[in-house]
Amino acid sequence: MTKNLFEIWEECLTMIRENVPAQAFSTWFEPIRPVDYRNGLLTIQVPSDFFYEFLETHYIKVIKATIRKVLGPEGKLEYSIMMDNNENKPVVVKQPSVDRTNTKNPPKQIQIDFENTETRVMNPFALPGIKKINIESNLNENYCMDNFVVGECNRVAYEAGLAVAKNPGRTAFNPMFIFSPTGMGKTHVCQAIGLETKKHHPEMTVLYVNSEQFLMQFQAACRNNSSKSSRDDFVHFYQMIDVLIIDDIQYLSDKPKTQDTLFHIFNHLQQTNKQLIFTCDKPPAEIKGMEQRLISRFKWGLSAEMTLPDVETRRNILKRKAYNEGVELSEEVVNYIAEHIKTNVREMEGFLISLIAQSSLNRKAITINLAKQMVERFVNNSNREITISYIISMVCEEMGTSQADFFTSTRKRNVVQARQLSMHFAKKYTKASLNVIGEQCGGKDHATVIHSLKTVANLLETDKQFKMVADKIEANFQ
């Protein structure tokens, strides 16, 4: 008698349960749903890309062995990944080879062929059927040019960015190197250039990566058994891009192998008239631990510095943010904030969001008094009591998540994790009740908070990378 889908999956789970720690099992395997089984091909549905990547990185051996045992040597596994689309519905397309190029939110199906080599399975860039056009740009629509307020502090980057977006790779601004201290709008402007480029040139492949992601992908490619070919795949992948944006390039300091690879990618793209955009927290000449030949290339095009916006620009930024949030601020309040919070734009934005949250929580209007009270607490931070909004701002900063996203309902992986971590620290470092924590962390209910606390506890046990980030954030509260 042939086994049905659920019996098969149950059998797989039994085997997996015996081979992974209990916590890891409940975090990573319980949420999986079996969705189809035919002709030796088992399709399982995972909640997100992140899940898929995590399973692939940490549990591929167990999964592989399990599938062999339960389905036999011919057995194959296919993941169906729930995309972050608005309806939150899983979408399943049966064949990975189906032309998905014109679907707006294409479902991802990744098929593992166990007859093939390990590299093929592990290598994120050699997914069967992936076409150039399928490369996700990683751009956040909120970071568009319309939302970017221009002042003397950022005009060069803005104007050059517009020129680059019209004519990528064909202006003198190649590479374009944008630098400033943290929180001045580098990520925003370089993403805006990416979005603008796509408007003018929908056919082009634009890719935004943070240099930490770039580094991690490179290291993963090197870890594979036949590292040569997967390293080549890594390089080829990046050489396919028309507009490559690498944010926070300073994280590649003291990483000579990654720098060497970037050097080759750089040369190839430059020679084929593709556009490169980098951001950094300092000018090229001051980056420590960076190969000289890379530094000299960074200087080839345009270096645009961004500085702290003057008070007028800060006012305009506040008005724009408030407008985007659907909130009206009096001139008095705008002036007060712009004059008192002048460390950087991120802090100012963080302050505004806390102010809005505070006023909606207490159902009070945003008055000048409320703003003054909060500025007191925000600015006079010696002996600062740890507040949930402080926790949120630190978590968002470390995780590179915008606070604007934090308070939306987006389920993007990094935003969800930022909310969960904030809840975790709020529980640990404040006296707030679970209800209050939920309310302040994006209007979540009590049950969501409990679930988040559990998830974070699991992740801290099972995911070293996650623990590292959490520890780094926690250092701010101790």
Which residues contact Mg ion by CB under 5 A?
186-187
Binders of ligand ADP among residues 348 to 387 (CB under 6 A) are 349
Which of 118/325 has CB closer to ligand ADP?
325
What, of ligand ADP, Mg ion, none, does residue 112 touch, CB below 5 to 8 Å by kind?
none
Dihedral of alpha carbons 276, 277, 278, 284, sign: positive
Rounded Cα distance, 147 and 317, in Å:
9
What, of ligand ADP, Mg ion, none, does residue 188 touch, CB below 5 to 8 Å by kind?
ligand ADP
Other C-beta atoms closer than 10 Å to the C-beta of 55 total 18
CB of 183 to Mg ion, least distance (A): 8
Name beta bridge partners: 396: none
Residue 345 interacting with ligand ADP (CB under 6 A): yes
Which of 148/237 has CB closer to ligand ADP?
148
Q: Is 139 helix (H, G, I), strand (E, B) or coil?
A: coil
Rounded Cα distance, 96 and 3, in Å:
25
Which of 106/183 has CB closer to ligand ADP?
183
What, of ligand ADP, Mg ion, none, does residue 154 touch, CB below 5 to 8 Å by kind?
ligand ADP
Residue 283 interacting with ligand ADP (CB under 6 A): no
Rounded Cα distance, 318 and 151, in Å:
13
CB of 398 to Mg ion, least distance (A): 12
What, of Mg ion, ligand ADP, none, does residue 314 touch, CB below 5 to 8 Å by kind?
none
Residue 211 interacting with ligand ADP (CB under 6 A): no
Which residues, other chains included, contact 287 with Cβ-Cβ below 8 Å and sequence gap of 6+?
Answer: 249, 250, 253, 280, 295, 298
Which of 100/186 has CB closer to Mg ion?
186
Which range touches ligand ADP (CB under 6 A), out of 28-36, 160-168, 175-183, 367-375?
A: 175-183
* Closest CA relative to residue 65, chosen from 121, 127, 124: 121
Count of residues touching ligand ADP (by CB under 6 A): 18
Residue with tokens 């720690």: 21
What, of Mg ion, ligand ADP, none, does residue 444 touch, CB below 5 to 8 Å by kind?
none
* 148 touches 165 (CB < 8 A): no
Name beta bridge partners: 34: 44
* Closest CA relative to residue 426, chosen from 460, 408, 452: 452
Residue 187 interacting with ligand ADP (CB under 6 A): yes
Which of 82/209 has CB closer to ligand ADP?
209
What, of ligand ADP, Mg ion, none, does residue 233 touch, CB below 5 to 8 Å by kind?
none
Q: Which of 167, 171, 182, 359 binds ligand ADP (CB under 6 A)?
A: 182
Which of 168/185 has CB closer to ligand ADP?
185
Dihedral of alpha carbons 148, 154, 159, 161, sign: negative
DSSP state of 250: G
Cα 338–Cα 342–Cα 347 angle in degrees, nearest 5: 95
* Closest residue to bound Mg ion by CB: 187
Q: b/e map of 77-95 (b: 16 or more CB within 10 Å)?
A: bbbbbbbeeeeeebbeeee
* Closest CA relative to residue 71, chosen from 93, 96, 45, 43: 43
Which range touches ligand ADP (CB under 6 A), out of 107-115, 176-184, 432-440, 458-466?
A: 176-184
What, of ligand ADP, Mg ion, none, does residue 180 touch, CB below 5 to 8 Å by kind?
ligand ADP
Binders of ligand ADP among residues 108 to 167 (CB under 6 A) are 147-149, 154
* Closest residue to bound ligand ADP by CB: 185
Where does this chain bind ligand ADP (CB under 6 A)?
147-149, 154, 180, 182-188, 317, 320, 345-346, 349, 402
